[in-house]
């Protein structure tokens, strides 16, 4: 009688807790899963970044620099969360063969990204994501135009 009770208790716990854990697990993803894994070595990639504080822009097409940035971005782990702010510190667009594959607003100090058509995500791993925007050889140009 005790064995049956224990088995039913375990089954009941799994049935009740299973969907909760599955739902929490499904909230985790990465920038690589969202868009970057679709990029192949033969693709022509351009990364446009706008710094919101002064509307400075940079457009990166150098393959070595693009690969360096994509490698940094590919390890960024995310958790789906609600975030109420609209404008980030940076706006990033990644074009593959002339087509916009990824658009996101980045909140560097708050560790959030808003990915267009995907939603709001908290950056959950320790990474060097911020250094992407501080590479010394990026040639920022101040502009009054919007990136949109």
Beta carbons of 27 and 77 less than 8 angstroms apart: no
pLDDT at 144: 60
**What gap in Å lies between CA 49 and CA 134, rounded to an integer?**
12
C-alpha distances in angstroms, 115 versus 7, 101, 130, 147, 148?
44, 11, 17, 15, 14
pLDDT at 8: 82
pTM: 0.74
131 by DSSP, 3-state: which?
helix
Domain boundaries, the chain: 28-142
Q: Other C-beta atoms within 10 Å of 99: how many?
A: 8
Which one is the CATH code of 28-142: 3.30.1490.410, 3.30.1490.190, 3.30.70.640, 3.40.50.1980?
A: 3.30.1490.410
| Structure token digits, residue 118 | 């995907």
pLDDT by residue for the chain (148 residues), tens only, comes to 688 888 888 777 777 766 665 555 557 888 888 778 878 888 999 999 999 888 899 999 999 999 988 888 888 888 888 876 767 889 999 999 998 888 888 888 788 888 888 888 888 887 777 788 888 888 889 866 554 4
């Amino acid at each position: 009688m005790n064995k049956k009770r224990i088995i039913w208790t375990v089954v009941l716990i799994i049935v009740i807790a299973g969907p909760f854990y599955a739902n929490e697990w499904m909230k985790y993803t990465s920038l690589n899963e969202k868009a970057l894994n679709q990029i192949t070595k033969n693709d022509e990639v351009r990364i446009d970044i706008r710094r919101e504080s002064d509307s400075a822009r940079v457009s990166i097409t150098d393959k070595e620099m693009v690969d360096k940035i994509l490698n940094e971005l590919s390890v960024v782990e995310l958790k789906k969360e609600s975030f109420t702010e609209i404008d980030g510190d940076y706006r990033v667009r990644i074009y593959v063969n002339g087509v916009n594959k990824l658009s996101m607003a980045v909140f560097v100090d708050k560790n959030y990204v808003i990915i267009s058509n995907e939603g709001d995500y908290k950056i959950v791993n320790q990474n060097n994501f911020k250094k992407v925007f501080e590479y010394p050889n990026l040639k920022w140009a101040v502009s009054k135009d919007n990136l949109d």
